[in-house]
Amino acid sequence: MMYRYETKKNGDYKLYALSNSTSKDRAGYKTYDAADSATYTNKTERLTVNRTSFTIADDAAVYVQTTNAKATGDKVKVITGKALKKWADTTGLYAQVLANETNGAKNAKVVSIVYNAASISSASDDSYGFVTATPVRVTNTDGDKVWQYEIWNGSKTITVFEDKTSQSADKGEFIQYNVVSDTEIEDIQNNIGSYDAVTAIDGDKIDTTSNTALGIDDKDTQVIYVNTKDTKGVEGGKIALADEPIDGNYTKNVYVVNAVNGKDLDAIFVDVNNKMEKVTYTAVLSGAATQKIGNITYTVAVKASPVALGKNVEITVTPDKTVDADATVTVKCNETGATKSVSFANGDTTTAKTITFSQEAYNTTYSIVK
């Protein structure tokens, strides 16, 4: 519930119910409204109170509480209007709104919401970061076992904890989280985006191998510079074109969050060495998958794809029956030109033999050398 207050001479506060009667009763705002059946609509990003549709300022102060707060231990939490606009469609809200007007539109600046839910987020807006150390299980000042993280948030490394029984992220991962306090976070999410390579830069927009015209907005996009080789945060840097070792085949140099053609990114992580280290690339067979030598047909296959940078690309070679003469099968990485061979001796069974290549920092293809 929201009230306006006045400070008495002795320093005490006196609370007054809000109303739409006078400017004073609405704390100086243009409009006050309240209803116990308000609705929020995600598509329009509007809060409807008593048939009045309010736009929501990104910097609006929004106080949120559940009706069963006493039972769950939840308290009133403060989020921004920008965070509120990420809500799904929600009905049955008790809402109070203080708003001003812009070009005839009522723009909510202060909102109080009470609704029926098992719990609410104890956090504010989404934040992004890079986990720079292995999380550890510690005991906090309340005597609770919690997970402690070291996170590079783009400007400094913070040491914070999440009150959960299980670990939410690991060293070297890009995460999204919500801030509870200077020392506590919650709702850690990993696997929040995708690795990509920047192929064009046009002012505040970039193209990647997967998307076009991704916006880098000064206010809406969080840009975080990292050194994934050493698992460290870096203060300052720039977004650069990805290396192109092979024509049309790029080294991934960024990690993008909420990548939609023509839309602003929520966040972008940029490796200052222009190469993301903990990333995978495709490794596939190109051309014929078999080679017949004498009476034996040898089948060649890439065991698994994608493959992490620097890890082994395993290529199996399997005869279709017991080998009746010595034979050698050679496989080439088409991008590097490197070749590897495996030999079979007379009498070898149909057990596969393996050739290994080291995964390069780009997609690779392999073919049989005949």
Amino acid 122: pLDDT:
45
Q: What is the mean pLDDT of residues 112-132?
A: 76
Nearest Cα residue to 343 out of 327, 331, 356 = 327
Q: Report helix, strand or coil for 336.
A: coil
Q: Where are the alpha helices (DSSP H) in 258-323?
A: none
Three-state secondary-structure class, residue 81:
helix
Confidence of residue 148 (pLDDT cuts 50, 70, 90): very high
Q: What is the residue-averaged pLDDT of the chain?
A: 92
Q: Can you tell me the mean pLDDT for 307-331?
A: 97
Q: Output phi, psi for 366, to 5 deg.
A: -135, 145
In the sheet with 339-344, reading across from the earlier edge strand, the strands are: 283-285, 364-369, 327-333, 339-344
- In one-letter notation, the amino acid at residue 305 is S
Distance in angstroms between the alpha carbons of the first and the last residue of the chain? 79
pLDDT of 123 over the 50 cut: no
User: Alpha-carbon distance 177 to 241, whole Å?
Assistant: 29
**72 backbone dihedrals φ, ψ, rounded to 5°:** -90, -15
- Quick one: average pLDDT of 178-189? 86
- DSSP state for residue 88 in the 8-state scheme: P
Q: What is the pTM of this model?
A: 0.71
Mean pLDDT of 22-27: 94
What does the DSSP 8-state code read for residue 242? P
What's the pLDDT tens digit per position in 251-263? 999 999 989 999 9
CA atoms within 13 A on the CB side of 97: 31
Distance CA 329, CA 344 (A): 8
Q: Please tell me the distance from the alpha carbon of residue 31 to that of residue 173, in angstroms, as a whole number.
A: 45
For residue 49, the tally of other CB atoms under 10 A from its CB is: 27
Element (H, E) at 37: strand 31-41
Q: What burial class does residue 259 get, using C-beta atoms within 10 Å of its C-beta: 0-12 exposed, 13-18 middle, 19+ buried?
A: buried
In this structure, what token pair is assigned to residue 214? 């991704």
pLDDT reported for residue 181: 80
Across the range 332-351, mean pLDDT stands at 97
